[in-house]
Structure 1
Amino acid sequence: MEQSSNTILPFNNYQKLVIALLALLQFTVVLDFMVLAPLGDYLMKSLSITPKGFGVVVSSYAFSAGVSGILAAGFADKFDRKKILLFFYAGFIVGTLCCALATTYWMLLGARIITGLFGGVIGAISMTIMTDLFEVNQRGRVMGFVQMAFAASQVLGIPIGLYFANLWGWHSSFLMIVTLAIVIAIVIVIKVKPIDKHLALQSDKSAFLHLWHAVSNKSYQTGFIATAFLSVGGFMLMPFSSAYLINNIKITPDQLPMVFMFTGIASIIIMPLIGKLSDKVDKFMLFTAGSALAIVMILIYTNLVPIPLWQVVLINMVLFMGIMSRMIPATTLTMSIPDMKDRGAFMSVNSSLQQMAGGIAALCAGLIVTQKNSTSPLQNYGMLGLVVSIIIAVCCIFVYRVSVMVKKKQANAFQETSKEELQLSEV
């Protein structure tokens, strides 16, 4: 029975192990995607890729992940969650290895499609596991720790990946991810218990019928829309971040790892605090505050002129803090919408729509942003920032509706628990 009070529940040792493994797993998946943006300038120059072509590379992962999530949704609640996690993680490892072996634009594009088919579903499976194993008033902290994968990828993964790229070529960055992912997969096989309580609750014999029940649920649809809008901003700004810093702000390739490292350090400090705060205060109010900060910083960031390195680092740190202050409470709210029997399907469809919305955003960003040649400044980046800010404001409307639904669900659950306790006391 989920807790409805604001009591902070402690984690047991097994839960701590699961949190650590999910965070490490998410680290590899996030790094695989996020390292593509810092490597963007390397890739665009070495493989002669235009901004539009690079937008296609980024969005190909998103679209293939979206298709995969829809196909997997009907089956997501039919298997032990540990087994389905390992299946998709193995495919992700193979796809990342193909990225490492790519030598042409088309090989890289194909490799990103394979990686997206498997990697794009892993986040949904991880969130389903979190929701199954943790009470509602633990999930903010769990999300805070697991979302530290984003920060850790910036503090450790991206700087190391860029160092490897400078030393041995961009291919070595993907090989690093493959090696780490294999180790994590082995530990999951050995240490994680089966996660199959949901199997006893299944009533839909057909996978297609189970998918239909998930996508036709009006409450679930609101969550889907909120998540799609939530993902757009990151997908629009991220692909061209390194090219913008190098060509517009005149940051050198050697200075680029420092920008990502300090941004990640700031996130590692703030994210557990946001997660804990998310379990204590109103999640929508926290989300709104993060959205306001993100809008202000995006409008500043996308209209910068060449400035000293320390100012670039400071602006990036505050910007990322605003973005994460949105992600944690919004994701925690969305995770609380589905019932246990529908969680796998909901999370898979939710992830698919998130990825496809992000893919459309990356393509649109590639159409908005232009560049005369590989070394000239990016044009229309300020316009891109304005578009992203408007989308963030619209997103607040849908997250508010999700917040209202979740509070109503928790109130109903509390009333049911109170009735059961009253009946037992009378007996």
Structure 2
Amino acid sequence: MEPKQPVLSPFSGYQKFIIAMLALLQFTVILDFMVLSPLGDILMKSLDIIPARFGLVVSSYAFSAGISGILAAGFADKFDRKKLLLFFYAGFIIGTLCCATANSYTMLLIARIVTGLFGGVIGSVSMAIMTDLFEVHQRGRVMGFIQMSFAASQVLGIPIGLYIANAWGWHAAFTMIVIAGVCIFLLAFFRMKPVDKHLAIQSDKHPFLHLWHTLSNKRYQTGFTATAFLSIGGFMLMPFGSAFLINNVNITQEQLPIVFMATGIASIVIMPLIGKLSDKIDKYNLFVFGSTVAIIMVLIYTNITPIPLWQVILINMIMFMGIMSRMIPATTLTTSVPQMKDRGAFMSINSSLQQMAGGFAAICAGLIVTQPTKHSPLQHYNTLGYVVSLVIVICAFLVFRVYKMVKGEQEYAIPVQG
């Protein structure tokens, strides 16, 4: 059993600001990626994109994010994390602006690559900041709040984005993200303090030597593998979610925001509870529970036919509860794998492998799913459900290895000084 820790001790005022700022920042990054799914049907019709090419649009972001994360990993622990965060976030805003001005499939594809080059590193830098500033037995709660940005993107971002897209075109949805991003950038620039304690304990002088030492660490490789498999399922189902609901389940474009909003509201309620549970009970048991729920609901979701709207909403709510019950404890465990001097590099590589695994999954999904015409039902979407379920089972074995390794380390029992 894990030793008792003062997990419910209150956060300081500055810690609350950091949590809110990281959550807002993640909100825009997640929304930028997730909005492609609800806009998928509009984009596929307006730009004449077939499923395989749309899968490439989604995966292009993931692959470019993965490549940039690997390249940045050697430098991730060589600079103040605040400066790194602001640099990559500025690039992300510029990339999203390119998406807002794209008027063809090729331009959109290039814009997604640019956005991924910068956006893919932001998550890893944010996780390194969180790990530096919060003790290990606080991180479940912190992850619960930061992961609320995922739900907020559904409750606020996606419905508003869809409304704006329906009213002024899909370009306007990306413009909305750019405006929000500029405001958050200014907030972080003026109020966030430097995060540079890791600079005092660096041992590798050359960035690429640091990258190699991190990549070749057997302990770290276990965490990398588990995280890569953790992302595959979502990347397989997400790209064609709106097209499936519209063309197979007969949900209208006007009803689509309601589905995302209701699912997001449920997630906002559930995720802080999961975060607290992750700090109080066995993390792997919580992960297994979430995986079981996710498998059941994914199989149901990918096989549904036209049903009432309330049933679609209910299925989505329970499915995302299972997904979040996996993500939070698994991510919390992974943050305990690296030592402080390697956290930036580890998080960058970890995020890169996650993105590239997701990009591979999106390409596979685009090859599995077919659509004879623009308005015909998607075919073979249920096959994705079977593949995702198998991946979840494999991931459970990999996360168990991380759990046993982390639990046996002294760092897991002794609070990290942040």
TM-score range, shorter chain: over 0.9
| Structure 2: stretches of 5+ with no match in the other structure | none
**SS of residue paired to 1:209:** helix
Q: Within the alignment, does 1:287 sit opposite 2:287 as a pair?
A: yes
Amino acid at match of 1:344: G
Matches within 5 A, 1:94-105: 94-105=94-105
Alignment partner, residue 351 of structure 1: 351
Alignment partner, residue 422 of structure 1: none
CA contact (8 A) 1:4 1:414 kept: no
- TM-score, normalising length: structure 2: 0.98
What CA distance in whole angstroms lies between the structure 1 residues aligned with 2:359 and 2:416? 42
Amino acid at match of 2:369: V
Give the superposition deviation at 1:409: 1.1
CA gap 1:412/1:381 in 2 versus in 1, 3 angstroms: closer
Matches within 5 A, 1:109-258: 109-258=109-258
What CA distance in whole angstroms lies between the structure 1 residues aligned with 2:193 and 2:3? 27
Give the superposition deviation at 1:172: 0.3
Instruction: Name the % identity.
Output: 72
Alignment partner, residue 421 of structure 1: none
CA gap 1:416/1:84 in 2 versus in 1, 3 angstroms: closer
Give the superposition deviation at 1:4: 6.0
Aligned length: 415
CA gap 1:377/1:210 in 2 versus in 1, 3 angstroms: same
Give the superposition deviation at 1:413: 5.7
- TM-score, normalising length: structure 1: 0.96
Which string of whole-angstrom CA distances, capped at 9 and with x for unpartnered residues, describes residues 99-158 of structure 1?
000000000000000000000110000000000000011000000000001100000000
CA gap 1:220/1:416 in 2 versus in 1, 3 angstroms: closer
CA contact (8 A) 2:137 2:415 kept: no
What CA distance in whole angstroms lies between the structure 2 residues aligned with 1:104 and 1:368? 25
What CA distance in whole angstroms lies between the structure 1 residues aligned with 2:416 and 2:103? 60
Which string of whole-angstrom CA distances, capped at 9 and with x for unpartnered residues, describes residues 240-285 of structure 1?
0000000000000000000000000000000000000100001000
Moved more, 240-249 or 407-416: 407-416
Give the superposition deviation at 1:5: 3.6
CA gap 1:416/1:390 in 2 versus in 1, 3 angstroms: closer
CA gap 1:191/1:170 in 2 versus in 1, 3 angstroms: same
What CA distance in whole angstroms lies between the structure 2 residues aligned with 1:332 and 1:411? 13
What CA distance in whole angstroms lies between the structure 1 residues aligned with 2:145 and 2:80? 24
Give the superposition deviation at 1:405: 1.1
| Structure 1: stretches of 5+ with no match in the other structure | 418-427
Which string of whole-angstrom CA distances, capped at 9 and with x for unpartnered residues, describes residues 22-75 of structure 1?
000000000000000000000000000000000000000000000000000000
Alignment partner, residue 424 of structure 1: none
Q: Within the alignment, does 1:312 sit opposite 2:316 as a pair?
A: no
**SS of residue paired to 1:371:** coil
What CA distance in whole angstroms lies between the structure 2 residues aligned with 1:319 and 1:296? 8
**SS of residue paired to 1:333:** helix
CA contact (8 A) 1:236 1:364 kept: yes
CA contact (8 A) 2:336 2:411 kept: no
**SS of residue paired to 1:87:** helix
**SS of residue paired to 1:36:** coil
CA contact (8 A) 2:336 2:412 kept: no
CA contact (8 A) 2:266 2:317 kept: yes
Alignment partner, residue 92 of structure 2: 92
What CA distance in whole angstroms lies between the structure 2 residues aligned with 1:382 and 1:241? 12
TM-align CA RMSD:
1.4
What CA distance in whole angstroms lies between the structure 2 residues aligned with 1:408 and 1:217? 17
What CA distance in whole angstroms lies between the structure 1 residues aligned with 2:384 and 2:163? 29
What CA distance in whole angstroms lies between the structure 2 residues aligned with 1:344 and 1:415? 19
What CA distance in whole angstroms lies between the structure 2 residues aligned with 1:414 and 1:156? 39
Which string of whole-angstrom CA distances, capped at 9 and with x for unpartnered residues, describes residues 74-117 of structure 1?
00000000000000000000000000000000000000000000
What CA distance in whole angstroms lies between the structure 1 residues aligned with 2:263 and 2:177? 21
Alignment partner, residue 423 of structure 1: none
